[in-house]
C-alpha cells in the first residue's frame, strides 16, 4: 500500500464518509482552503492510480468510490507509525501517550480489561 500525501489522505477520509462521490461532492465537503476543481480531480485520479479509489463512468463524468477500506488503511498507517516512531513497540507507544498525558489511568484500565477479555 503506497503512502498517501496529507491532501490525499484528507480526500480519502471524505470518500470513506461519502462512500461514492463526484468531484463536486468531494469539493463540497472540504471545509478549509478548497483546491481548484482540476487540482482536486488530479488528486482523486492519483488516488486511483495508487489503487485506493476506482470509478464508474457516466459519460464524461466519473463517480469515485474507495476500494481500500478505512480500517485496512488505519492498520497499515499505525504499523508504520509504531515501527518508525516507537521502535515497533506498542508498550513504547502507550508509555509515550501516558507521559504526554494523552491517556488516563481509567483509559489504560479499559485497555487492560479489553486485553484480558480477549485472552479468556
Question: Sign of dihedral through CA atoms 14, 18, 21, 24?
Answer: negative
Q: Note the pLDDT tens digit of each residue in 71-86.
A: 999 998 899 889 999 9
Following CA atoms 77, 79, 83, 89 in sequence, which dihedral angle do they give, to the nearest 10 degrees?
130
The domain made up of 6-66 has a fold known as: Arc Repressor Mutant, subunit A (1.10.10)
Q: Note the pLDDT tens digit of each residue in 15-59.
A: 999 999 999 999 999 988 889 999 999 999 999 999 999 999 999
Global pTM reads 0.80
Given a contact cutoff of 8 angstroms between Cβ atoms, the answer to whether 55 and 64 are in contact is yes
Amino acid at each position: 500500500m503506497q503512502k498517501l500525501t496529507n491532501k490525499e489522505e484528507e480526500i480519502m477520509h471524505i470518500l470513506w464518509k461519502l462512500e461514492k462521490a463526484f468531484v463536486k461532492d468531494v469539493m463540497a465537503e472540504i471545509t478549509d482552503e478548497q483546491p481548484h476543481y482540476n487540482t482536486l480531480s488530479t488528486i482523486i485520479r492519483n488516488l486511483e492510480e495508487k489503487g485506493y479509489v476506482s470509478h464508474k463512468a457516466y459519460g464524461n463524468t466519473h463517480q469515485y468510490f474507495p476500494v481500500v477500506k478505512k480500517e485496512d488503511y488505519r492498520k497499515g498507517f499505525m504499523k508504520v507509525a509504531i515501527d518508525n516512531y516507537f521502535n515497533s513497540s506498542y508498550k513504547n507507544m502507550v508509555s509515550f501517550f501516558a507521559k504526554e498525558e494523552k491517556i488516563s489511568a481509567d483509559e489504560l484500565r479499559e485497555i487492560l480489561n479489553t486485553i484480558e477479555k480477549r485472552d479468556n
